[in-house]
Amino acid sequence: MSRILIVEDEAIIRSALKRLLERHDHQVSEAGSVAEALSLEPQGFDLVISDLRLPGEPGTDLIARAAPVPVLIMTSYASMRSAVEALKLGAVDYVAKPFDHDELLETVARVLHQQATQQGEPPDVTEPGGTRQTMIGNCPAMQVVYTRIRKSAPADVTVLVQGESGTGKELVARALHQQSRRASAPLICVNCAAIPETLIESELFGHEKGAFTGASASRTGLVEAADGGTLFLDEIGELPLDAQARLLRVLQEGEIRKIGSVETRHVDVRLIAATHRDLRGLSKTGEFRLDLYYRLNVMQIDLPPLREREDDILQIADVLLEKACRRHEREGLRLSRAARRTIRDYPWPGNVRELENALERGVILAEGHLIHPDDLGLAAGPRPLPEPVAEGSGLAAPVEPEATEEEDLSLEDYFQHFVLEHQDQMSETELAQKLGISRKCLWERRQRLGIPRKKGPRRTTG
């Protein structure tokens, strides 16, 4: 289902267009002006349909500010001049009002199809040891990531990378840096969660000799070390408020001031930030500055968790397995069918990092030429769930895998057992949460395994 944002100040036209698109299975949000549209974060949509003439800023202002999301312009003044100007500014197309419903739907379908088929090539990334690798995966969510990297890298804007731990946020930062005009300058990576709160300001901004107890010499901060290049701040949600204020000045004025110094210095740094936390939510509780969040979120890249990349999981596993085999000099090892099934169905709360560790374990423990599920260390004991199941819930303990593939209780068997036993007491959302998968994934596995949804009791009228 495509997400479309309609920007139109006339409520009658806006609601009519919304109903038309929703009848054709699109998810629609509305705004009456450019400012209102920006508050809805247009980069999270698949398409923006905007009137040309709006109160305040014109609809064409959304073209650059919604990029890379395409903007379709509507205009009552369907002159060739206004249409050409909109296209020159980067509009994907235009439609004249009053518009023909079929023509509009055809244009929307064509634009969305073009977006879906313009798949980005996975970028190459040089790792710290000098090894060059290509980012792995071709699922739709990763195609969006590749496109965002390709378009954002040369633009030299601040980028916020969001995703769970272990999804590859630093890999995205390296790709952005290496495809930017700053590629020949340094990339400085900092994990904000790994530096004690008392030292983080000194590490980032530097200090003068005698600025505090123990400051026996002057020190250059990491922001200054990244001058001319890129600064990657991982886990930026852990940054203390005082350091947030200093970082905001770097972004606003391009200036830093060492701790204990009265002098400021100009720096030219491109910032890439990453977090697994909800920064907007943290701003409501006073833990993160809202003005800094807006400065960081010029371009946002959302990394999908591994459990939502079902088409990519085995491809990633094969690449990581090959690397692990080379490291441990065990070329020729392969995953058994049961091991591949386990990898495909496991919820991967630790994402790619957990998958890499499981394969490393498998390479070390495998006896023959095949890696079995018990070598991976994923199937032993209770199946991993995102939260513990309460006592007395009736959930039977999973069966331990046996030595042979034929006797192994696969994760599909466990899935089927769990769903059939609990669907009378749980909603689809609760089932998905307990299994650590999305509702869409739950529905797809029901279809694949032929498990019908339990229908509720039919209502009777008296």
136-209+219-302 and 306-376 have identical folds: no
Tokens encoding 208: 């003068």
Q: Encode pLDDT of 216-264 as tens digits.
A: 788 888 999 999 999 999 999 999 999 999 999 999 999 988 888 878 8
- Domain covering 3-119: architecture: 3-Layer(aba) Sandwich (3.40)
Vertex 22 angle, CA 18 and 24, to 5°: 125
- Domain covering 306-376: architecture: Orthogonal Bundle (1.10)
Residue whose entry in the numeric block shows the structure tokens 């040891």 = 129
- The DSSP bridge pattern shows strands 71-75 and 27-31 to be unpaired
How far apart are the C-alpha atoms of 299 and 152, rounded to whole Å?
Answer: 7
Q: Encode pLDDT of 285-324 as tens digits.
A: 999 999 999 999 999 999 999 999 988 999 999 999 999 9
Amino acid 272 reads I
> CB under 8 Å to 462, separation ≥6 — which residues?
none
pLDDT above 60 for 389: no
Alpha-carbon torsion angle 307, 311, 316, 318, nearest 10? 120
CA distances from 354 to 246, 317, 346, 349, 350 (A): 35, 11, 11, 8, 5
Closest to 163 measured CA to CA, from 274, 317, 237? 274
pLDDT above 90 for 392: no
Q: How confident is the model at residue 204 (pLDDT cuts 50, 70, 90)?
A: very high
Look at residue 459 in the predicted model and tell me its pLDDT: 42
* DSSP reduced 3-state for 54: coil
> CB under 8 Å to 201, separation ≥6 — which residues?
240, 242, 243, 246, 259
Mean pLDDT of 174-195: 92
Class of domain 136-209+219-302: alpha beta
What values do phi and psi take at 99, rounded to 5?
-95, 150
Mean pLDDT of 185-212: 86
Per domain, the residue ranges of the chain are: 3-119, 136-209+219-302, 306-376, 414-449
